[in-house]
Structure 1
Amino acid sequence: MKYYLRFFICAVVAVIVVACAPTFYEKTYEFNKALAEGNFESASIMMQQSEKKMSSGRLEFLYYVNAGMVASLMNDFEKSNKDFQKADIFIEDHKKNVFEEGGALLLNPNLTTYPGEDHEKLMVNYFKALNYLEMRQYNEALVECKRMNIRLNQLSDKYKSDKKYKRDAFINVMMGIVYEAFNDPNNAFIAYRNALDIYQNDYAKLFKMPVPAQLKYDLIRTARKTGLHNEADKYAAEFGMDFQEDDSYAHLTLLWNNGMSPVKAEWGVNFAIVQGRNGYVTFVNKELGLSFPFYCGNDKPTVSWIKAVFPKYVERKNFYKNARLVGADNIAYKFSHAQDINAISFKVLEERMLVEFSKTLLRVAMKQSIAAKVSQENEGWGAALSILGSATESADTRSWQSMPRDISYTRIPLEEGQTSVDIILTNDKGVEETKTIPLPQFAKGENVVLPFYSLASYSAQQY
C-alpha cells in the first residue's frame, strides 16, 4: 500500500478520538452550570485548571473571553480587561494556519484554531467598555467605543448583502451610552441616530426587533442637549412622545445582561450519491432541495449514500422574563430590549451554512474517494476506511457560551447621596424577586453606567 494511503489511515484512526468526543457544550457543561447558578467562584477555579490546556492552543480565544467574563462577574475588572485584551490581540493577530486548514479539510474541522464568530468579536469590546465604566475610567471606555466603530466598519466591508448581519444596532447604543458618560451629548446623539437607522432597516427585517423605547427618549434628550431642537421635534412627532430633561442630581443607565447565549450542537443530513459522467458525482438531498456536484476522477465513492454532519445552534431559554428598575422616587422603570444575541447567533450561522455544506461534503467526498482508491488494492481495507471516514465526521461546536442571551437597558434619575437601586425580576412562572444594586459615589450631573447580570437559564440539553 502506498505511503500516503497508510498515512491517511493512521491519521483517520488518530482523529477518530476527537470525532467521537462530546460537543463543546457537553465538555464544558459544569462550567456553564456554575455560571447559570451564580457560582462564580467554582467557575473561576475551572478556568484556572484549564489555563495551561486552553490558553495557547486551538481554544485560546474562548479561554480568554470566558476568563474575562468570570473575572468581571467577580468584580475583578482589571484582571477581566487583561483577559479581554488578550482576546482582542488574538482577534487582530490571528491568521489561518495552512496545516490546520488542511487537516480540517481532510479530517475534522475541530483541528483548526477557533477564530470567534463576527458577533463574538464585537462583544469583546462591549465587555471591556463595561469594565472601564465600572472603574470610572471614561477615557479608556471611549477608546473601546472607537474600537467598536472600527470593528463595525470591518463587518460592513466584509458583507455587501442587505440580508446579512453586517451592522450592529446595540453596539451603536453602547457607544452613545459611553459618550454620555463622557459628557459628550453631540457624539452620543450621532451614535443613537445610527442605532435607530439600524434597528429600523436591519434589525426589523433580520430579527423582527422593534426600536427600543429607551433609545427614542435618548435621541430626543441628546438632540435637545446638543441644541438640535428641530431634530428633537422631528423625533418627538415620529415617536409620538417627548422628553424634557429633568433637573435630577444625576442619572443611572443600567444594562441588564440576561440569560445565556445559545450553544452549538450537531445535526446530520443523509445525501444520496448520484454517479455522473466525466468523473463527477453529485450529493443530493431531495427533502432539503440540496445538490452539490464534486469531481472525483476515477476514484468515485463505492457507497450509494453518506451522512454529513453540520453545526447548529440550540437556545437556552431564559429563567427571568421581565424586569423593572426602582429608584429613590419609587417609580418602576421598564427595561427596553436592545440586543438579541440568541437571534444574531442563529443568523450568523445561517448565513454561512452554504459554505459549511460545501466544505463538509468536500471533506466527505475526499475521504470516500481515497477509500475507493484503497479498495482497488485491498477491498477490505477500502471498506474499513470508508467506515472510518464516516465515523470521523464531526461538526465544529465551539462557541463563546458565557455571553448573555439578551441585553436590555433603562435610564433613571438619581438623588444626591443615594446608595442603591432595586431591580425586580420576574421569572417564567410569574414569581418576582427583588435584588438590591449598590451604587458608587457620584457627582451632580454625572451619568453612571452599571451592568447587572442574571445568567440563570435552562440547560440546552432539556430541549
Structure 2
Amino acid sequence: MTYLRTHILKASSIIMLVLFLLGCATYNERITLYYQNVHAGNYKQAEKTLDGNSLIKKPRNRLLYLIEKGRVSHLNGQYDVSNRYFNEADQLLDQGLGGAADGAVGVFVNSMSQTYKGEDFEKFMIHYYKALNYVYLNKTEDAIVEARRITLQAQQQTDKFNNKDNRYSNDAFSLTLQGMLYESVSDINNAFIAYRNAAEVYLKAPDQTWYGITIPLTLQQDVIRTARLNGFNTEAEEFERKFGITYSQPSPSEGGELVVFWENGLAPVKTQADMLFTLVRQSNGDLFFTDVGGGIIIPFNYGGDRGRVNTKAVESLHIAYPKYIAQNPYFTGGSVSVNGQQLSLVKTEDINELAFKTLQQRALQEMGKILSRQAVKKMAEYSVRQAATSNGKTNGWLEGLGYGLQLYNALSEKADTRNWQTLPAYIAYARIPLNMGENKVDITLRNAQGVEEIKTITVQGNGRLQFYNYATLK
C-alpha cells in the first residue's frame, strides 16, 4: 500500500512537471505572434491575435491587456477606441491592484502569478497616449485634464520615493508634454510652470543627465520664452545662467508651430536570468544571502526565530530574476524640415534606459523577496523530508510529499517577465514653425549605414501649436 501511495504521488509530480514546463516560456514568447504583427505594422491582425491570447486575457494580466489594446488602437488611428482602453487601465490603477490574496501568491508561488501592476514609467506613458488621442479628437478640454493628471502622477512618484538615491521620482518628458498641452490652449502661466519643473528634473540630476537624456535645447528655450511672456524676466535670466545660453526669441510664425514626436523602435523585452545564492549565518546570529562570487549580500528578512533556522535546509538557492534585453532600432537618427528650415529630432524619453535603470534600482529589494520565498519553501521541504525518515523508519506518504515539494519548489520558481512591450525604445522630438495654410513637412530618418527614409505629411498652419506623432517599429 505504501509502495502504491508513493508512486501515486510521484506520478502526480510528473504531471506537475509537464504542466510547469508548458508554462515556463517567457511573457514575450507567449505573445510572439501579436508582437510580430505589431512589428510588421499589421495592427488589425495584431488586435485579433491579442484577443485570442489566453495568457494576456487572464485576470492578473488585465492591465497589460488594456494598455496593449490602447497602444495598438492608437497605432491604427482609432483614437476614441484607444482611450476607452487607456481610461479603463487608469481606473484599475486608481482603484489599486493586488491585495492580501495577491501578496500570498507572491509568497507561495511566484511574482509572475501575481497581478501585473505596471512599471512606473509605463503609467506616465498612458498619459502621453491619452493626451495625444484627445488632441487628435479635438477634445481640448479632456487633453488639459490629462495634462493635470501628469502632475498627480508626478506627486505620487515623489511621495513614493521622496527623491531617495536619485530614483525615478518624476518624468521630465511628461512634464515637457504637459507644458506643450497648456501652451496649445494659450495657458502660458501653467506652461511655464510645467517647463520649469521639467528643467529642474534635469538640473537636479547627476551631471544634469536624466536617465540617458541631457536637457534638450528646445526645452531650455521654452522655459526662458514662457518666463518672458509671463513677465518673469528675472527668472528668465536665471535660467539663461543655469543653461549657459543667451536666448533671443524669434518672431512668432504666423502659422503656429508643429511638435513632431518620433517614436523609434520597440521597448526592451524581459527574459529570465538564473542565479545561485547561499544562506550564511553570522557570528551574531544574523542571516544573509550571498551569491557565488560574494558580490551581492542581502539580509534574510525572516519573521520567525532566526536562531531556529536550519541553514543546511537552504545551503544553495536557485532564483529566477527578470532581465531586460534591448532591441536595437533600425533607424538611428532623424530630422524634420518644412519651408526651407530643418531641425534635428532630439531624444527626449529613453524607455530603454528607464527600463534597465529602474529594474536595477529595485534589484536588491526584489531579490530579497524572491530569496525569502525560496528559503521558506526549502525549509518546509527539508522538514517534511526529515520527518519522513525519523526513528529509522520511512513514511511513504511523507516521502512522496517531500518529493512533490522538492519538485514544486524547483519548478514554481519563475521570473516575472511581463512588461508593456510595444512601447517605443525611445522618443525624440522637434518643434518647427509653420506658415499659414498648407505646409509640407518632411520627416527624414536614417539608419546606421546612412540610408534615408522620408515620410511626408501635410499640416494646415492655423496660428496655434499642433502635434503629430510618428512610430517606426523596425
Mark the CA change 1:133 to 1:15 in structure 2 (over 3 Å): closer, same or farther.
Answer: farther
Correspondence 1:423 to 2:436: no
Q: Which amino acid is the alignment partner of residue 455 of structure 1?
A: L
- Structure 2 CA distance, aligned partners of 1:103 and 1:260? 31
SS in 2 for 1:59: helix
Q: Match of 1:122?
A: 124
Counterpart position of 2:44: 41
Gaps of 5+ in 2: 3-7, 390-398
- Give the Cα–Cα distance (whole angstroms) in 2 for the partners of residues 278 and 14 of structure 1: 41
Q: Distance in 2 between matches of 1:452 and 1:429?
A: 22
Counterpart mapping for 1:295-314 below 5 A:
295=306, 297=308, 301-302=312-313, 304-314=315-325
Residues 222 and 278 from structure 1, CA distance in 2 versus in 1: closer, same or farther, beyond 3 angstroms?
closer
Letter aligned with residue 342 of structure 2: A
Give the alignment partner of residue 412 of structure 2, picking from 392, 403, 407.
Answer: 392
Kindly indicate whether residue 223 of structure 2 is the aligned counterpart of residue 213 of structure 1: no
Amino acid at match of 1:451: N
Equivalent of 1:60 in 55, 59, 62: 62
2:355 paired residue number: 345
1:167-210, CA deviations, whole angstroms, 9 ceiling, x for partnerless residues?
11111100011011111122111111111111121373553431
The reply to whether residue 222 of structure 1 matches residue 221 of structure 2 is no
Letter of the 1:166 counterpart: S
Give the whole-Å Cα distance in 2 for the aligned partners of 1:226 and 1:31.
Answer: 48
- Paired AA for residue 252 in structure 2: D
- What is the CA–CA distance in structure 1 between the aligned matches of 2:403 and 2:52, rounded to whole Å? 42
> CA 1:282–1:392 in structure 2 vs 1: closer, same or farther (change >3 Å)?
same
The one-letter amino acid paired with 2:432 is I
Do the aligned residues in 1 keep the contact of 2:298 with 2:368 (CA within 8 Å)?
no
CA separation in 1, counterparts of 2:131 and 2:444?
Answer: 25
Equivalences for residues 257-406 of structure 1 within 5 A: 257-274=263-280, 282-285=288-291, 286-293=293-300, 294=302, 295=306, 297=308, 301-302=312-313, 304-327=315-338, 329-378=339-388, 380-381=399-400, 382-383=402-403, 385-406=405-426
Contact 1:272 1:284 in 2 (8 A): yes
**Structure 1 pair 300/12, CA: closer, same or farther in 2 (3 Å)?**
farther
Shift of 1:297: 3.1
1:279–1:103 CA distance, 2 compared to 1 (3 A): farther
Unmatched 5+ stretches in structure 1: 457-463
* Counterpart-to-counterpart distance in 2, 1:429 and 1:275: 56
The aligned residue for residue 461 of structure 1 is none
SS at 2:74 equivalent = helix
Structure 2: which amino acid aligns with 1:430?
G
Find the aligned partners of 1:24 and 1:322 in 2 and give their Cα distance: 30
- Residue 417 of structure 1, CA deviation: 2.1
Conservation of the 8 A alpha-carbon contact between 1:16 and 1:391 = no
CA shift in 2, pair 1:169/1:298, >3 Å: closer
What fraction of aligned residue pairs are identical, expressed as a percent? 30
Instruction: Provide the residue aligned with 1:447 in structure 2.
Output: 465
Distance 1:292 1:38, change over 3 A: same
Q: 2 CA distance for matches of 1:403 and 1:148?
A: 18
Describe the superposition over 1:47-83 as per-residue Cα deviations: whole angstroms up to 9, x where unpaired.
3324x86456001000010000011111110000000
Task: Give me the whole-angstrom Cα distance separating, in 2, the residues matched to 1:86 and 1:390.
Answer: 37
Which stretch has the larger CA shift, 410-419 or 314-323? 410-419
Q: Does 1:251 align with 2:253?
A: no
Aligned match for 1:173, one of 154, 166, 176: 176
Shift of 1:344: 1.2
Name the amino acid aligned to 1:103. Answer: V
Distance 1:341 1:364, change over 3 A: same
SS at match of 1:399: coil
Aligned pair in 2 of structure 1 residues 55, 296: CA closer, same or farther (>3 Å)?
farther
Contact in 2 for aligned 1:200/1:210 (Cα 8 Å): no
Number of the residue aligned with 1:459: none
Q: How big is the shift at 1:235?
A: 3.9
Taking the aligned partners of 1:245 and 1:378, their CA distance within structure 2 comes to: 86
Task: Work out the CA distance in 2 between the residues paired with 1:200 and 1:343.
Answer: 18
The one-letter code of the counterpart of 1:196 is A
Kindly provide the CA deviation profile for residues 90-128 of structure 1, in whole angstroms up to 9, marking residues without a partner as x: 101124232222122112212211011111111111110
Q: 1:342 to 1:232 in 2, by over 3 A?
A: same
Q: State the shift of 1:451 in Å.
A: 1.2
In the alignment, which residue of structure 1 is the partner of 2:78? 76
Q: Name the aligned partner's letter for residue 306 of structure 1.
A: L
1:172–1:195: 8 Å Cα contact kept in structure 2? yes
1:132 CA drift (Å) = 0.9
* Deviates further, 364-373 or 419-428: 419-428
TM-align CA RMSD = 2.8
Deviation at 1:292, TM superposition (A): 3.4
Deviation string, structure 1 residues 121-173 (Cα, Å, up to 9, x no partner): 11111110011111222111100011110010011011121421101111110
Task: Indicate the SS of the match to 1:418.
Answer: strand
Partner of 1:239: helix, strand, or coil?
coil
Q: CA deviation at 1:42?
A: 1.9
Alpha-carbon separation, structure 2, partners of 1:86 and 1:94: 12
- C-alpha deviations, 1:34-56, integer Å up to 9, x for none? 22222222212213324x86456
